[in-house]
């Protein structure tokens, strides 16, 4: 066995600096748990510029206490990337990303109970010619799976350190740190046979990549192998297009093979798996048949044609109910604190515009959004729990058929469902959807699911629509359900439409691993929850603060002269004038300028409509009792004496709220998740346009029918 030519030279790094490690592995192999165990809270979470892929960098310490940097790369099955996540992993490892230095060494984590498939990625990574440490995780589950793993045999076969480990329990970490602290990590001696007909092409491409594309000899061979594994060379090249010469060589070889009937990609993959198979035969001992595992038993129920739906229904109901009940206390607490803070500012400062800016603008506006944070946190927690236990994949599995009707796959289900509580966590959870177009469609339609901020508006409108105490609860609930159904059908309808027109793509795949069920590690779930919440606050925070202040300014200026009621002040403010300006546009929907003010103020959060109406109609009311507001609204008239809030207008307004995009936090999150303003603007226009058109139809048809 001779060394492949590309790894003949030892990579040099100065001894003064400890090497940077990249942590890579398949999804579901315990990578996050290991990363958290190694780095604790010493992590920096961000985004790779230009793509919406999470960038995590942490610090761990060598056995002598020196800091070692670890880059946690997104989970990947192969370096022949299929998703934005995998593309980042490939590009960082190949040193293609300007924003991340190429890691010196690679920590490969594999699931010991699922060695063959996990070794495929390791096998590709060994080609990179960097020092590699293989972490054999989940050793605690090996016996249960009826296996025995001979780690030393694996070490011999690969020629790199192999560290058995149980990341969940923290076992093996000491040994791992010792290995990571070594200055002289060996390079892999593993040699595998590139299939005969393909080997000369690898050499040709490697030479050309070094000469014409400026690749380092170290990564040129790995790049050449990737070009031949993935049939789409454009995708492999990613942001760094191939030089004409390399492209020519690649085409020449491919044409020749096509003529000969050589399936080069399959030949490469097969020969890797052949090599892996030989290693696995030596390393993995099947101790005995174990019969159905715990996971198999759970799955027999969870994916059962009848019980499966029941379980899904119970889990989802539990999720939504607990969000609404658990979040209520903290939400009220935040409300009270915000009010208290406003009072504090009031007592500390003399009356004036600055004080109003702080109390009515900043505190009230930001408080109104932070109020939803408990809900968002709980949702993040549940989503994390569903992900880490493995149930998420099962829900996607049984929902796939239904989702495929509108051109999506099962993975869009949980994000859409979460959006019933709040679209923000739903949209942030779409990162599990690999296909960029499917992900975008899911993001675009998620805010159509009726979120909890719409609930106060629906309740107020239903109360105004059916004011009598004699109206049956059934009618009210029925109307409420109708609104939820409208939003849901709207979401699926638009998903169907977008998948057929704007974001036409290949039909989504459902190639998804069903990982064994695992007990969640609460620390990991909590950590992820706080990370996501922090990202939301940091990214949306400035937008929210900005818009809150603008909204305050619009309602506070210009100042009315003399002593006027808040209603009069609002009426002649910019917001009032905007309401008047808006009136011609919304009059065909039966809305006047006062409702227009409500629509504008809803951009802070939809439920602000209720308090704005309170100011507009001079009605003192709180969330427990909207009766005074209801009475005031029902007394409101057009200048010509017609009643403003007729039942038809109330219904039209509810329909408008079902479809219109009126949430600055969502807009801010969509901007972050789609990397620009294009899609949030499109989303705002299509949703609000639909809201207008449907409201128009309902109102005009209702009027024509004599309502």
Partner 1 sequence: MPVTIKLSELPIGASAVVREFPKSGSAFQRLREMGLTAGTSLKLIRTAPFGDPLEIKFRGYNLTLRKSEAEHVLVEPTDQPKASPPA
Residue ranges binding partner 1 (CB under 8 A): 77-78, 80, 82, 113-117, 120, 145, 229-232, 263, 265-266, 269-270, 273, 277-278, 280-281, 286, 289, 299, 303-305, 308-309, 393, 397-398, 400-402, 404, 410, 506-507, 509-515
Q: What is the Cα gyration radius of the chain?
A: 30
Q: Is residue 556 within 8 Å of 572, Cβ to Cβ?
A: no
Nearer to partner 1, 311 or 589 (CB): 311
Nearer to partner 1, 28 or 60 (CB): 28
In whole angstroms, the minimum distance from the beta carbon of 131 to partner 1 comes to 24
Nearer to partner 1, 113 or 418 (CB): 113
Which residue is listed with tokens 């927690």? 381
Nearer to partner 1, 273 or 553 (CB): 273
Name the helix (H) or strand (E) containing 105. strand 105-111
Which residue is listed with tokens 């997104």? 74
Distance CA 334, CA 83 (A): 39
Nearer to partner 1, 116 or 204 (CB): 116
- Phi and psi at residue 132, to the nearest 5°: -125, 140
Nearer to partner 1, 99 or 263 (CB): 263
Q: Is residue 33 within 8 Å of 166, Cβ to Cβ?
A: no
- Phi and psi at residue 231, to the nearest 5°: -70, -15
Distance CA 551, CA 544 (A): 10
In whole angstroms, the minimum distance from the beta carbon of 490 to partner 1 comes to 24
In whole angstroms, the minimum distance from the beta carbon of 291 to partner 1 comes to 10
- Phi and psi at residue 475, to the nearest 5°: -65, -40
Distance CA 91, CA 98 (A): 10
Q: Is the peptide bond before 393 cis (omega within 30 degrees of 0)?
A: no
Using DSSP's 3-state secondary structure scheme, residue 108 falls into strand
Distance CA 100, CA 165 (A): 28
In whole angstroms, the minimum distance from the beta carbon of 115 to partner 1 comes to 7
Which residues are within 8 A (CB) of 369 and not within 5 positions of it... i.e. 6 or more apart? 540, 544, 548, 604, 605, 664, 665
Which residue is listed with tokens 């903290």? 330
Name the helix (H) or strand (E) containing 68. strand 67-72
Q: Is residue 512 within 8 Å of 393, Cβ to Cβ?
A: yes
Nearer to partner 1, 80 or 544 (CB): 80
Nearer to partner 1, 91 or 592 (CB): 91
Distance CA 149, CA 163 (A): 12
In whole angstroms, the minimum distance from the beta carbon of 264 to partner 1 comes to 10
In whole angstroms, the minimum distance from the beta carbon of 311 to partner 1 comes to 11
Nearer to partner 1, 186 or 277 (CB): 277
In whole angstroms, the minimum distance from the beta carbon of 374 to partner 1 comes to 34
In whole angstroms, the minimum distance from the beta carbon of 640 to partner 1 comes to 56
Token code pair at residue 645: 């809030």
In whole angstroms, the minimum distance from the beta carbon of 328 to partner 1 comes to 35
Nearer to partner 1, 99 or 513 (CB): 513
Distance CA 596, CA 586 (A): 7
Q: Is the peptide bond before 558 cis (omega within 30 degrees of 0)?
A: yes
Nearer to partner 1, 121 or 422 (CB): 121
Token code pair at residue 304: 């059962």
Cα separations (Å) of 409 from 75, 105, 135, 251, 415? 20, 37, 33, 35, 12
In whole angstroms, the minimum distance from the beta carbon of 306 to partner 1 comes to 8
In whole angstroms, the minimum distance from the beta carbon of 255 to partner 1 comes to 15
Nearer to partner 1, 471 or 512 (CB): 512
In whole angstroms, the minimum distance from the beta carbon of 398 to partner 1 comes to 5
């Amino acid at each position: 066995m001779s060394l492949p030519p590309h790894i003949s030279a030892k990579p040099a790094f100065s001894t003064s600096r400890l090497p940077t490690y990249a942590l890579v592995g398949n999804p579901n192999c315990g990578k996050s748990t290991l990363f958290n165990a190694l780095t604790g809270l010493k992590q920096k979470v961000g985004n790779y510029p230009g793509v919406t892929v999470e960038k995590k960098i942490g610090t761990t310490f060598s056995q002598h206490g020196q800091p070692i940097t670890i880059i946690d790369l997104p989970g990947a099955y192969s370096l022949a990337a299929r998703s934005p996540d995998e593309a980042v992993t490939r590009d960082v490892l190949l040193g293609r990303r300007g924003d991340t230095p190429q890691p010196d060494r690679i920590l490969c984590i594999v699931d010991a109970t699922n060695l063959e498939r996990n070794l495929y990625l390791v096998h590709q990574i060994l080609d990179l010619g960097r020092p590699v440490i293989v972490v054999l995780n989940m050793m605690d589950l090996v016996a249960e799976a009826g296996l025995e793993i001979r780690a030393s045999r694996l070490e011999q076969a690969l020629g790199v350190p192999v560290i058995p480990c149980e990341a969940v329990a923290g076992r093996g970490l000491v040994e791992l740190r010792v290995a990571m602290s070594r200055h002289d990590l060996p390079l892999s001696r593993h040699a595998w046979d590139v299939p005969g007909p393909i080997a000369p092409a690898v050499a040709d491409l490697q030479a050309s990549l070094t000469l014409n594309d400026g690749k380092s000899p170290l990564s040129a061979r790995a790049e050449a192998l990737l070009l031949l594994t993935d049939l789409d060379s454009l995708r492999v090249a990613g942001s760094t297009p191939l030089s004409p010469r390399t492209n020519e060589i690649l085409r020449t070889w491919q044409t020749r093979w096509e003529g000969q009937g050589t399936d080069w990609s399959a030949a490469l993959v097969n020969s890797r798996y052949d090599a892996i198979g030989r290693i696995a035969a030596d390393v993995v001992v099947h101790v005995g048949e174990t019969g159905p595992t715990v996971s198999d038993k759970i799955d027999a129920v969870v994916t059962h044609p009848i019980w499966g739906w029941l379980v899904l229904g119970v889990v989802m109901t539990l999720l939504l109910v607990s969000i609404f009940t658990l979040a209520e206390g903290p939400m009220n607490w935040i409300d009270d604190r915000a009010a208290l803070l406003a009072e504090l500012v009031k007592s500390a400062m003399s009356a004036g515009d600055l004080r109003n800016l702080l109390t009515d603008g900043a505190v009230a506006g930001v408080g109104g959004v932070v109020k939803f944070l408990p809900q968002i946190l709980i949702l993040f927690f549940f989503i994390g729990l569903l992900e880490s236990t493995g149930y998420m994949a099962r829900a996607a599995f049984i929902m796939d058929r239904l989702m495929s009707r509108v051109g999506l796959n099962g993975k869009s289900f949980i994000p859409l469902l979460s959006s019933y509580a709040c679209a923000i966590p739903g949209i942030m959870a779409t990162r599990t959807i690999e296909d960029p177009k499917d992900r975008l469609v899911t993001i675009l339609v998620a805010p159509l699911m009726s979120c909890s901020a719409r609930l106060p508006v629906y309740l107020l409108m239903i109360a105004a629509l059916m004011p009598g105490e004699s109206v049956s609860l059934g009618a009210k609930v029925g109307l409420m359900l109708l609104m939820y159904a409208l939003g849901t059908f709207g979401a699926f309808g638009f998903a169907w439409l977008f998948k057929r027109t704007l974001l036409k793509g290949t039909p989504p795949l459902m190639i998804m691993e069903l990982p064994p069920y695992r007990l969640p590690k609460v620390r990991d779930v909590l950590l992820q929850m706080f990370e996501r919440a922090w990202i939301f606050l940091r990214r949306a925070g400035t937008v929210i603060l900005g818009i809150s202040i603008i909204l305050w300014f619009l309602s506070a200026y210009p100042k009315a002269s003399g002593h006027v009621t808040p209603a009069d002040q609002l009426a002649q403010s910019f917001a009032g004038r905007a309401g008047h300006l808006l009136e011609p546009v919304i009059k065909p929907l039966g809305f006047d300028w006062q409702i227009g003010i409500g629509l504008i103020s809803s951009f802070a959060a939809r439920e602000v409509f209720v308090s704005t109406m309170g100011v507009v109609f001079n009605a003192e009311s709180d969330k427990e009792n909207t009766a005074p507001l209801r009475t005031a609204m029902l007394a409101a008239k057009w200048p010509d004496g017609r009643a403003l809030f007729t039942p038809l207008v109330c219904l039209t307004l509810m329909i408008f709220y079902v479809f219109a995009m009126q949430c600055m936090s969502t807009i801010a999150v969509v901007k972050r998740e789609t990397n620009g303003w294009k899609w949030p603007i499109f989303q705002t226009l299509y949703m609000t346009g639909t809201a207008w058109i449907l409201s128009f139809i309902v109102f005009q048809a209702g009027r024509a029918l004599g309502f």
